[in-house]
């Protein structure tokens, strides 16, 4: 597995609109709505140029991904939630993690989902979310992204 570097950081917040306005103005960047509320129970927007993904769990959500964010907000408050490392081969990253006893959960977007959620900017978008209990409490994602 070859690491390309940090792809993006995850920031979790209670007030999504306030956080998006803050980082947009502070960094002079644009965020793109990922439109994943119905899938993951969170509001999500990305600034590919800044390498930031903002999250805010929706009230009353029962989605496991969103519930992890709810728990994080209750325990740690708003702020840095995790980091995504770009890799050349996500499956090789998963294999390495599993060899080390680290659970890795697949999140892969097909071509239609890429078009809907990421403005059709990628050929491949595949990531493995690693168990934070095995990665020093950090939400680590290994992501393989191939632009069009």
Domain boundaries, the chain: 3-147
How do strand 79-87 and strand 104-109 relate by DSSP bridges?
A: unpaired
* Spatial separation of the C-alpha atoms in residues 101 and 106, rounded to whole Å: 16
User: What pLDDT score does 119 carry?
Assistant: 85
pTM (predicted TM-score): 0.91
- Give CATH for domain 3-147: 3.10.180.10
Dihedral, 138, 6, 103, 41 alpha carbons, nearest 10? 70
- Model confidence over 107-144: pLDDT tens digits? 888 899 888 888 888 999 999 999 999 999 999 999 99
Per the CB < 8 A criterion, the answer to whether 119 and 35 are in contact is: no
Which stretches of the chain drop beneath a pLDDT of 70? none
Single out the residue of 85, 88, 93, 84 nearest to residue 146, CA to CA.
88
126 CB neighbour count, 10 Å cutoff: 20
């Amino acid at each position: 597995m070859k690491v390309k570097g940090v792809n993006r950081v995850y920031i979790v917040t209670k007030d999504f609109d306030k956080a998006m306005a803050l980082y947009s103005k502070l960094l002079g960047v644009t965020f793109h709505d990922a439109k994943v509320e119905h899938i993951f129970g969170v509001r999500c927007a990305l600034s590919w140029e800044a390498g930031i993904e903002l999250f805010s769990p929706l009230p009353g959500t029962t989605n496991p991904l969103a519930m992890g964010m709810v728990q994080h907000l209750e325990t740690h408050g708003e702020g840095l939630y995790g980091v995504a490392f770009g890799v050349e081969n996500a499956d090789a990253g998963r294999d390495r993690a599993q060899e080390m006893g680290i659970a890795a959960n697949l999140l892969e977007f097909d071509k239609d989902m890429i078009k809907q959620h990421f403005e059709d900017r990628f050929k491949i978008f595949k990531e493995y979310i690693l168990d934070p209990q095995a990665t020093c409490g950090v939400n680590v994602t290994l992501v393989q992204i191939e632009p069009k």
